[in-house]
Structure 1
Amino acid sequence: MLIGSIAELFFWFFWDCLLSFALYTTGAVVLRVLSFGRIQKPLFVPIVFSNEKRLAKNDFFSAYITGFFFYLVLLALIIWLK
């Protein structure tokens, strides 16, 4: 039971810190490239990212989802090509 709780805590820490940062940053870059610079979401260093994410939740959602779908499409393309 204790090991399961520690594993779940580690998973959520990993998801909140690393994966959400990677998905947001990828989404911000993809939005900037696809819109030819018209949509510019701010890029943050990992230390500042968690604080800024809590302050502006609605602003982060579009970049976060775009990053998620970018990796989803990339994974589907890799599976399709093999």
Structure 2
Amino acid sequence: MLIASIAELFFWFFWEFLLSFILYTTGAIVLRFISFGRVRKPLFMPSIFSNEKRLAKNDFFSAYVSGFFFYLILLAFIIWIG
């Protein structure tokens, strides 16, 4: 039971601080690149990212999804080449 709680805490920490920041930042850059600069999602420093994410939950979703699909397509491309 204790090991499961520690594993869940580690996963939450990993997702909340590292993966969500990376997916959002990548998605914001991809959206800006694909739309030729018309869609501008703000880029945040890691220290203020979690505070800003809590304030504007709905605004962050499109950047998350874009970042996730970017890495998914990149992974599929690498598997296809290799």
Superposed pair shares fold, TM > 0.5? yes
Q: TM-score, normalised by structure 1?
A: 0.98
Number of the residue aligned with 2:46: 46
Partner in structure 1 of residue 72 of structure 2: 72
User: What is the alpha-carbon distance in structure 2 between the residues aligned to residue 13 and residue 43 of structure 1?
Assistant: 21
Distance in 1, Cα, partners of 2:12 & 2:80:
30
Say what the alpha-carbon RMSD is for the aligned residues: 0.5
In structure 1, the residue matched to 2:22 is 22
TM-score by length of 2: 0.98
Which residue identity is paired with 2:63? A
Residue deviations 1:26-79 (CA, integer Å, cap 9, x gap): 000000011010000000000100000000001000000000000000000000
Name the % identity: 78
Give 5+ residue unaligned stretches, structure 1: none
In structure 2, how many angstroms separate the alpha carbons of the residues matched to 1:16 and 1:65?
A: 15
Unmatched runs of 5 consecutive residues or more in structure 2: none
Alignment length, in residue pairs?
82
User: Which of structure 1's runs of 4+ aligned residues deviate more than 6 A?
Assistant: none
* Equivalent position amino acid for 2:24 in 1: Y
